[in-house]
């Protein structure tokens, strides 16, 4: 009996998150000290997906390494489809076709998004509907203006990004989460040329009149971590418990951490000196150290092995593993990695970003 297989899209450039994504590909950036790809794979594993394919392009060796380590920790089989040139969503499926064989259905997810999705319900709805593709939809996130997917009263997708498809009257617009559930037959409809192919603009539109591209409206936390502000917002939301930990078992680190102060949790080997000041919610990664006279929190994540020296202050910020702080340095509302200090700005600014 066929089992679902996942295609996790990890080839993008992550341009809106630069210069952080000049150091790591976006799906490999740490979210509470765990690579974002691990959260995505954990979501899939919790829904019974035991085999995944990731595509790589930007900083490919780092991406492949982070994905492989995350898959091993979750007991998942993983294959890598490398793209010398970006192939797009449709092209990624076409190029990875051989690695996806035997899986039914295919679950396509963005590896750089944090989404609290009850995936088994989507898989069940897809199986019952007989759809070629089921697109997981959400209410438009506050403060954003992403392109929409419009659905008729029967659940069929009729128009994408206000331009693609037959349209019609009485349609309801939704935000596309980036999750597709596909019948493998759909890959055969992806043309060999052009190499760069977008399923939303080039593959789905000719099929929208037949009603076999359907929408599934879900609820749940969703954040594309597309800017430094959105990244810090997602970190705070995890620390505050706004992202259900149970959905990401095996990846989410806080539930297994020890409590070292009210609202402050720490991984194995983390140490806090007498005279350090801690404020929750915060997280100290494995073997992190906070020295006497240092101040950490609220809403701070100290990466694995990082030392917060005496007099330093870290508030509402994320320190990646390997970051060195100077004595008395203040890091507030920022992401720190190596010598970089990237300010977060405001997460409430209107966001358009990529449409899908």
Q: Are residues 135 and 63 in the same domain?
A: yes
Q: Are residues 166 and 49 in the same domain?
A: yes
Q: Is 306 within a domain? A: yes
Cα pseudo-dihedral 75, 76, 81, 82, rounded to 10: -30
Instruction: Say if residue 349's pLDDT is above 60.
Output: no
pLDDT band of 345, cuts 50, 70, 90? low
- Alpha carbon distance 206, 152 (integer Å): 16
Q: Is 237 within a domain? A: no
Position 353 scores a pLDDT of 46
Instruction: Say if residue 346's pLDDT is above 60.
Output: no
Q: Is 213 within a domain? A: yes
Residue of 164, 156, 128 whose CA lies nearest to 212: 156
Q: What CATH number did the domain enclosing 289 receive? A: 2.160.10.10
Q: Are residues 109 and 10 in the same domain?
A: yes
Q: Give me the DSSP letters along 154-183.
A: TSBEEEETTTBS---SS-EEEEEEEEEEE-
- Alpha carbon distance 30, 49 (integer Å): 23
Give the pLDDT confidence of 50-72 residue by residue, as tens digits: 999 999 999 999 999 999 999 99
Token representation of residue 253? 């680190």
Instruction: Say if residue 77's pLDDT is above 70.
Output: yes
Q: Are residues 157 and 279 in the same domain?
A: no
Give the pLDDT confidence of 183-199 residue by residue, as tens digits: 998 998 888 888 888 88
- Cα 190 to its chain centre, rounded Å, is 25
Instruction: Say if residue 355's pLDDT is above 60.
Output: no
Bridge-based pairing state of the strands 330-332 and 213-217:
unpaired
Q: Is 356 within a domain? A: no
Q: Is 103 within a domain? A: yes
Q: Is 87 within a domain? A: yes
- Alpha carbon distance 32, 12 (integer Å): 22
Give the pLDDT confidence of 157-181 residue by residue, as tens digits: 999 988 888 888 889 999 999 999 9
Residue of 160, 224, 156 whose CA lies nearest to 198: 160
Give the pLDDT confidence of 296-325 residue by residue, as tens digits: 999 999 999 999 999 999 999 999 999 999
Instruction: Say if residue 73's pLDDT is above 60.
Output: yes
Q: Are residues 203 and 252 in the same domain?
A: no
Q: What CATH number did the domain enclosing 103 receive? A: 3.90.550.10
- Alpha carbon distance 253, 271 (integer Å): 17
- Are 170 and 153 contacting, i.e. CB atoms less than 8 angstroms apart? yes
Domain count across the chain: 2
Give the pLDDT confidence of 5-48 residue by residue, as tens digits: 999 999 999 999 999 999 999 999 999 999 999 999 999 999 99
User: At 318, is the secondary structure helix, strand, or coil?
Assistant: strand
Range of the domain at 10: 3-225
Token representation of residue 149? 């997917």
Task: Record the pTM.
Answer: 0.92
Q: Are residues 180 and 215 in the same domain?
A: yes
Mean pLDDT computed over 272-293? 96
Position 352 scores a pLDDT of 43
Q: Are residues 267 and 322 in the same domain?
A: yes
C-alpha neighbours within 13 Å on the C-beta side of residue 14:
32
Q: Are residues 123 and 206 in the same domain?
A: yes
Mean pLDDT computed over 93-104? 91
- Kindly state the helix (H) or strand (E) to which residue 67 belongs, with its residue range: helix 60-74
Position 356 scores a pLDDT of 55
Q: Is 230 within a domain? A: no
Residue 248 burial (C-beta neighbours within 10 Å; 0-12, 13-18, 19+)? buried
C-alpha neighbours within 13 Å on the C-beta side of residue 9:
25
Q: Are residues 40 and 173 in the same domain?
A: yes
The CA-atom distances, in angstroms, between 157 and each of 67, 144, 153, 264 are 32, 21, 10, 45
The interaxial angle of helices 119-129 and 36-46, nearest 10 deg, is 50
Mean pLDDT computed over 212-226? 93
- Across the chain, what does the average pLDDT equal? 91
**Final residue of a structural domain among 225, 257, 272:** 225
Q: Is 113 within a domain? A: yes
- Alpha carbon distance 99, 79 (integer Å): 7
Q: Are residues 175 and 254 in the same domain?
A: no
**Final residue of a structural domain among 155, 190, 225:** 225
Q: Are residues 255 and 204 in the same domain?
A: no
Rg (CA), the chain: 21
Q: Are residues 187 and 260 in the same domain?
A: no
The CA-atom distances, in angstroms, between 335 and each of 2, 54, 223, 332 are 43, 26, 17, 8
């Amino acid at each position: 009996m066929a089992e679902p297989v996942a295609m996790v899209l990890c080839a993008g450039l992550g341009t809106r998150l630069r210069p952080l994504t000049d150091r790591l590909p976006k799906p490999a950036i740490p979210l509470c000290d765990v690579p974002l790809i691990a959260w995505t794979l954990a979501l899939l594993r919790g829904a019974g997906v035991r085999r995944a394919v990731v595509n790589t392009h930007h900083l490919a060796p780092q991406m492949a390494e982070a994905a492989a380590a995350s898959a091993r920790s979750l007991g998942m089989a993983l294959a890598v489809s490398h793209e010398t040139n970006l192939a797009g969503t449709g092209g990624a499926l076409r190029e990875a076709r051989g690695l996806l064989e035997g899986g039914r259905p295919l679950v396509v997810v963005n590896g750089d998004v944090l989404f609290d999705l009850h995936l088994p319900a989507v898989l069940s709805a897809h199986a019952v509907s007989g759809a070629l593709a089921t697109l997981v939809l959400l209410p438009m996130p506050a403060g954003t203006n992403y392109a929409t997917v419009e659905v008729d009263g029967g659940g069929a997708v009729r128009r994408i990004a206000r331009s693609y498809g037959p349209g019609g009257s009485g349609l309801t617009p939704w935000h596309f989460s980036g999750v597709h559930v596909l019948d493998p037959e759909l890959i055969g409809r992806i043309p060999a040329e052009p190499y760069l192919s977008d399923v939303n603009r080039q593959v789905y539109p000719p099929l929208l009149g037949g009603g076999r591209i359907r929408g599934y409206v879900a609820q749940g936390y969703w954040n594309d971590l597309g800017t430094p502000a959105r990244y810090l917002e997602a970190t705070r939301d995890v620390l505050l418990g706004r992202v259900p930990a149970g959905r990401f078992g095996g990846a989410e680190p806080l539930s297994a951490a020890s409590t070292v102060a009210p609202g402050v949790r720490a991984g194995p080997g983390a140490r806090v000196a007498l005279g350090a000041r801690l404020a929750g919610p915060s997280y100290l990664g494995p073997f992190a150290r906070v020295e006497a006279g240092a101040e950490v929190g609220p809403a701070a994540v100290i990466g694995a092995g990082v030392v917060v020296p005496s007099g330093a202050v870290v508030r509402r910020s994320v320190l990646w593993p390997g970051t060195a702080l100077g004595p008395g340095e203040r890091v507030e509302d920022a992401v720190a990695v190596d010598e970089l200090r990237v300010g977060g700005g405001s997460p409430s600014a209107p966001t358009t970003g990529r449409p899908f």
